[in-house]
Amino acid sequence: MRKGEKAFSMILTFCVAFIFWLLLSAWNKYLLGHYDLFRLARGIIVALIVTVTAHELLVPGRGEQVLLKIQRWLLYILWELYQIVLAAIDVASRVFGLRPVDPRIIEFETTLRSDLALTTFADSITLTPGTITIDIEPERGKYTVHAIDKGPADALTVDQTMQKKVGHIFMEEG
Amino acid sequence: MLTVDLIVDIITIVFLAGGAFFMITGAVGLVKFPDFYTRLHATGKCDTLGQILIIVGCMFFEGFNFITVKLFFVVAFYLFAGPAATHAIMKAAYFTGLKPWKKGDPRM
């Protein structure tokens, strides 16, 4: 890790840790008027300890085009929330017998390789309608997925909308 | 007469009722579906949305202050932890050799 990157990583980690501490330790309903210097000093000390011990875990180097990736990732989360609503409605209609239950296990390979991309896609599979991730082989990007019906299975193996979206975020379209 | 309090109450009730509906649906699916894997579908997905709706209803009821922020952290944590837990249970069952139900088999 270069010198400038280390300073960047430590400053970012300190800001995140301190703001998180401020939000969580607001013991009264409203922040203003209830913070004196002693309490703030405790928070700063704790945030410093966290920064020194853990800054390499939170920000491991600057990477390439981080801001663009974060922007795309936030947009993707909005789409994902919509998919969560669809998933719950889909399962509810299967519970009440409006759609069939025909479970199957499918396997397919993707172009994703990095840990973050693989985890994001695995979480997305579990949150979107009718599919749950069972296993991942990270070397080949191979997923084993349990699908509740033919439709959700085809959405992963044939349409591949979500693979393309996740690959677009992390720039691993292969 | 429509006041702000009444509107907030109505929004809260809508969110809480939606959350309760999905939680109950998940419980019904847990009993009704044929085998372990499909039951995990019911609880995993319905519970995620149910919990989120209930917590968002609480956020509306509370108004905008620090309790809302803490509830928002709970929602964010649930979005990451829910699928991971479902996946862990399903992986454990799959690798201990539990056979998935196919269409036409008797119920397990």
Name the DSSP class of A59: -
Quick check: B40 and A90 CB within 8 A? Answer: no
Say if residue A47 is in the same domain as residue A71: no
Say if residue A50 is in the same domain as residue A86: no
Instruction: Tell me how many domains chain A contains.
Output: 2
Mutate to test the interface with B, among A19, A77, A102, A146 (most CBs of B within 10 A): A146
- ipTM above 0.90 for this complex: no
| Residue A116 contacts B where some CB pair is shorter than 8 Å | no
| Residue A150 contacts B where some CB pair is shorter than 8 Å | no
Rounded Cα distance between B21 and B8, Å, is 20
Say if residue A37 is in the same domain as residue A111: no
Say if residue A94 is in the same domain as residue A156: yes
The pLDDT tens digits along chain B (108 residues) read: 678 888 889 999 999 999 999 999 999 988 888 888 888 888 888 888 899 999 999 998 887 777 888 888 999 888 888 888 888 888 898 889 888 877 777 776
- pLDDT single digits (tens) A81-126: 888 888 888 888 888 888 888 888 888 888 878 888 888 888 888 8
- What average pLDDT does range A52-64 have in this prediction? 73
Say if residue A16 is in the same domain as residue A50: yes
Say if residue A82 is in the same domain as residue A166: yes
Rounded Cα distance between A10 and A53, Å, is 10
Say if residue A54 is in the same domain as residue A70: no
Helix then strand then coil, in percent of chain B rounded to 5, is 80, 0, 20
Rounded Cα distance between A144 and A109, Å, is 9
Find the CB nearest B37 among A90, A100, A146.
A146
- CA–CA distances in Å: residue B66 to residues A12, A67, A71, A146, B61: 23, 28, 26, 40, 13
Mention every residue, 6+ apart, whose C-beta is less than 8 A from residue B63: B8
8 Å CB contact between B100 and B41:
no
Mention every residue, 6+ apart, whose C-beta is less than 8 A from residue B23: B46, B47, B50, B51, B54
8 Å CB contact between A116 and A166:
no
Q: Comparing C-alpha atoms, which of A106, A100, A148 is closest to residue A128?
A: A148
Rounded Cα distance between B78 and B72, Å, is 10
Domain of A11 in residue numbering reads as 3-58
Crossing angle of helices B66-95 and A3-24, in 10° steps, is 110
Mention every residue, 6+ apart, whose C-beta is less than 8 A from residue A39: A25
Say if residue A133 is in the same domain as residue A103: yes
Say if residue A48 is in the same domain as residue A133: no
Find the CB nearest A103 among B29, B38, B82.
B38
Phi, psi angles (nearest 5°) of residue A31: -75, -45
